A and B are shown apart, each in its own frame.
Chain A
Amino acid sequence: MKPAEKLFAYVVATVFIVFLVAPVVWLLSTSFKGQLDIFAKPPVLIGDFTLENYREVLTDRRFMGSFLNSVIISSLTVVFSMLLALPAAYGLSRLRSPAKIPLLSWVLLVRAAPGMIYVIPYFMVFNEIGLIDTRLGLVLINTVFTAPLAIWILISFFDGIPYEIEEAARVDGATRFQAFTKVAIPMAAPGIASAAILVFIFSWNEFLFALTLTRFEAKTAAIAILNYMGYAGTEWGKIAAAGILILLPVAIFAIGIRKYFVQTAAGGVKG
Chain B
Amino acid sequence: MADVEIKKLTKSFGTVEVIPEMDLVIPDGSFTVLVGPSGCGKSTLLRMIAGLELQTSGDLSIGGVDVRGRDPSDRGIAMVFQSYALYPHMTVRENISFALRLAKADPAEIEARVQNAADILQLTPLLDRRPKQLSGGQRQRVAIGRAIVRNPEVFLFDEPLSNLDAALRVQMRVEIMELHERLKTTMVYVTHDQVEAMTMADRIVVLNEGRIEQVGSPLELYDTPQTAFVAGFIGSPKMNFVRGDIPERLGGDLLGVRPEHMTLGEGDTGWTARIHLLEQLGSDTFAHVDSEVGPLIVRCHREVAELVGRDLRVAAKPGMLHLFKDGRRTDAPETL
B83 CB within 8 Å of chain A: yes
B315 CB within 8 Å of chain A: no
Q: Which residues of A contact B251 (CB under 8 A)?
A: none
Q: Which residue of B lies closest to A168 (CB)?
A: B85
What 1/0 flags go to B144-162 for Cβ under 8 Å of A?
A: 0010001000000000000
Q: Which of A60-68, A76-84, A169-177 contacts B (4 or more CB under 8 A)?
A: A169-177
Q: Which residue of B lies closest to A270 (CB)?
A: B163
Q: Which of B19-27, B59-67, B129-137, B228-236 contacts A (4 or more CB under 8 A)?
A: B129-137
Q: Are A168 and B89 in contact (CB under 8 A)?
A: no
Return the contact of A264 from the options B77, B87, B89, B99 (Cβ within 8 A). Answer: B89
Q: Which residue of B lies closest to A164 (CB)?
A: B85
B286 CB within 8 Å of chain A: no
Q: Which residues of B contact A182 (CB under 8 A)?
A: 98, 102
Q: Are B136 and A172 in contact (CB under 8 A)?
A: no
Q: Are A171 and B77 in contact (CB under 8 A)?
A: yes
B264 CB within 8 Å of chain A: no
Q: Which residues of A contact B89 (CB under 8 A)?
A: 186-187, 189, 264
Q: Are A269 and B83 in contact (CB under 8 A)?
A: yes
Q: Are B52 and A172 in contact (CB under 8 A)?
A: no
Q: Which residue of B lies closest to A166 (CB)?
A: B85
Q: Are B79 and A269 in contact (CB under 8 A)?
A: no
Return the contact of B86 from the options A167, A174, A189, A269 (Cβ within 8 A). Answer: A269
Q: Which residues of A contact B50 (CB under 8 A)?
A: 171
Q: Are B73 and A170 in contact (CB under 8 A)?
A: yes
A162 CB within 8 Å of chain B: yes
Q: Are B81 and A168 in contact (CB under 8 A)?
A: yes
A186-B86 Cα distance, complex, nearest whole Å = 13
Q: Are A267 and B85 in contact (CB under 8 A)?
A: no
Q: Are B99 and A172 in contact (CB under 8 A)?
A: yes
What 1/0 flags go to A131-153 for Cβ under 8 Å of B?
A: 00000000000000000000000
Q: Which residues of B contact A167 (CB under 8 A)?
A: 52, 72, 79, 81, 85
Known: A165-B86, A264-B89, A268-B131. A170 touches B52 (CB 8 A): yes
What 1/0 flags go to B217-230 for Cβ under 8 Å of A?
A: 00000000000000
Q: Are A174 and B102 in contact (CB under 8 A)?
A: yes
Q: Which residue of A lies closest to B158 (CB)?
A: A164
Q: Which residues of B contact A95 (CB under 8 A)?
A: none
Q: Which residues of B contact A164 (CB under 8 A)?
A: 81-83, 85
A186-B94 Cα distance, complex, nearest whole Å = 14
Q: Are B73 and A265 in contact (CB under 8 A)?
A: no
Q: Which residues of A contact B130 (CB under 8 A)?
A: 267
B319 CB within 8 Å of chain A: no
A183 CB within 8 Å of chain B: yes
Known: A171-B78, A173-B99, A270-B163. A265 touches B88 (CB 8 A): yes
Output the least CB separation between B163 and chain A (Å): 4
Q: Which residues of A contact B102 (CB under 8 A)?
A: 172-174, 178, 182
Return the contact of A183 from the options B82, B87, B99 (Cβ within 8 A). Answer: B87
Known: A171-B78, A174-B102, A187-B89. A270 touches B136 (CB 8 A): yes
A116 CB within 8 Å of chain B: no
Q: Are A171 and B134 in contact (CB under 8 A)?
A: no
Q: Are B52 and A270 in contact (CB under 8 A)?
A: no
A269-B130 Cα distance, complex, nearest whole Å = 12
Q: Which residues of A contact B72 (CB under 8 A)?
A: 167, 170-171
A265-B131 Cα distance, complex, nearest whole Å = 10
Return the contact of B79 from the options A162, A165, A171, A186 (Cβ within 8 A). Answer: A171
Q: Are B88 and A264 in contact (CB under 8 A)?
A: yes
A187-B90 Cα distance, complex, nearest whole Å = 10
Tell me the A94-136 residues at the B interface (CB within 8 Å): none
Q: Which residues of A contact B83 (CB under 8 A)?
A: 162, 164, 269-270
Q: Which residues of B contact A189 (CB under 8 A)?
A: 89
Q: Are B73 and A270 in contact (CB under 8 A)?
A: no
Output the least CB separation between A136 and chain B (Å): 34
Output the least CB separation between B109 and chain A (Å): 15
Q: Are B73 and A165 in contact (CB under 8 A)?
A: no
A162-B87 Cα distance, complex, nearest whole Å = 10
A266 CB within 8 Å of chain B: yes
Q: Are B85 and A268 in contact (CB under 8 A)?
A: yes
Output the least CB separation between B187 and chain A (Å): 15
A172-B71 Cα distance, complex, nearest whole Å = 10
Output the least CB separation between A82 and chain B (Å): 18
What 1/0 flags go to B25-59 for Cβ under 8 Å of A?
A: 00000000000000000000000001110000000
Q: List 5 A-B contacts (CB under 8 A).
A: A164-B83, A165-B85, A169-B87, A170-B73, A171-B50
3 nearest CB pairs, A to B: A267-B132, A268-B88, A173-B73
Known: A167-B85, A189-B89. 12 other contacts (CB 8 A): A167-B52, A168-B81, A169-B87, A171-B50, A171-B77, A174-B73, A186-B87, A265-B88, A267-B131, A267-B134, A269-B83, A269-B84
* Residues on A facing B (Cβ under 8 Å): 162, 164-165, 167-174, 178, 182-183, 186-187, 189, 264-270
* Residues on B facing A (Cβ under 8 Å): 50-52, 71-73, 77-79, 81-89, 98-99, 102-103, 130-134, 136, 139, 143, 146, 150, 163
